Amino acid sequence: VLFLGNSGEGKSSIAAALHTQGYRIITDDVAPVTLDQGTAKVAPSFPQIKLSREVAKVLGYDQDQLALLVPKLNKPGYSLNQDFTEALLPIRCIYVLVSGSQLSIKRLKLQEAVMELSHHSRLNSLFDSEKASHLLQCTQLANKCSVYRLQRPRNLALLPELARLVAEHQFIQGQVTR
């Protein structure tokens, strides 16, 4: 599962909530994606996750284990050395996070999915040919993975419930991997 969203939308918080329920975290902040023989895969990154003190408290993380990951930005985080994987893993589902008044999950049509993937991925090029290639890759990814809009209120107390909703949705879709 990948979570996409604007900065501050809660991607790390939801991943941390799932982590408390036994799910592994592959990467935080940047998700290197490859399309290998028709399968979309994500590569792991540093074994850590950004986690504010407020989120850590709500989720029951040990406050003493938080460390400053980016001291200049005062960004605390949590080390995941024990629960971190080093393997490339298939991507079966992508959630685009948006704020809203209630919890809901809605599957995006292909065109919407491609637009969201393009918007939330990084392209460091000014060349039109590379932009076209990037859009093609987003289309291929949207064809390989289910892409959903995950709407939820911005309320830290709802994080455990939100994690349960995502886990339930994955179970219903037959895509559960811990």
Beta bridge partners of 105: 150
Tens-digit pLDDT profile for residues 70-121: 777 777 888 887 666 778 899 989 999 999 999 999 999 999 999 999 999 8
Q: What is the pLDDT of residue 148?
A: 98
Average pLDDT rounded to a whole number, residues 31-51? 87
Query: Which residues lie closer than 8 Å to 37 by C-beta, 6 or more apart?
Result: none
Q: In what order do the strands lie in the sheet with 89-90?
A: 33-36, 39-42, 89-90
Q: N- to C-terminal Cα distance for the chain?
A: 11
Q: Which fold has domain 2-171?
A: Rossmann fold (3.40.50)
Q: What is the pLDDT of residue 70?
A: 72
Tens-digit pLDDT profile for residues 118-168: 999 876 545 556 677 888 889 999 999 999 999 999 999 999 999 999 999
Of residues 173 and 12, more confidence is placed in: 12
pLDDT band at 67 (very low <50, low <70, confident <90, very high): confident
Q: Which residues of 167-177 are buried (b: 16+ CB within 10 A; e: fewer)?
A: bebbeeeeeee
Q: What is the pTM of this model?
A: 0.88
Could you tell me the CA-to-CA distances from 111 to 90, 115, 117, 123, 177 in Å, in that order? 22, 6, 10, 19, 27
Residues 50 and 28: their CA atoms lie apart, in Å, by 7
Q: What is the pLDDT of residue 178?
A: 47
Judged by DSSP in three states, 1 sits in: coil
Residues 141 and 147: their CA atoms lie apart, in Å, by 9
Q: In the chain, where are the structural domains located?
A: 2-171
Q: Which residues of 28-50 are buried (b: 16+ CB within 10 A; e: fewer)?
A: beebebeeeeeebbbebeebbbb
Residues 14 and 53: their CA atoms lie apart, in Å, by 14
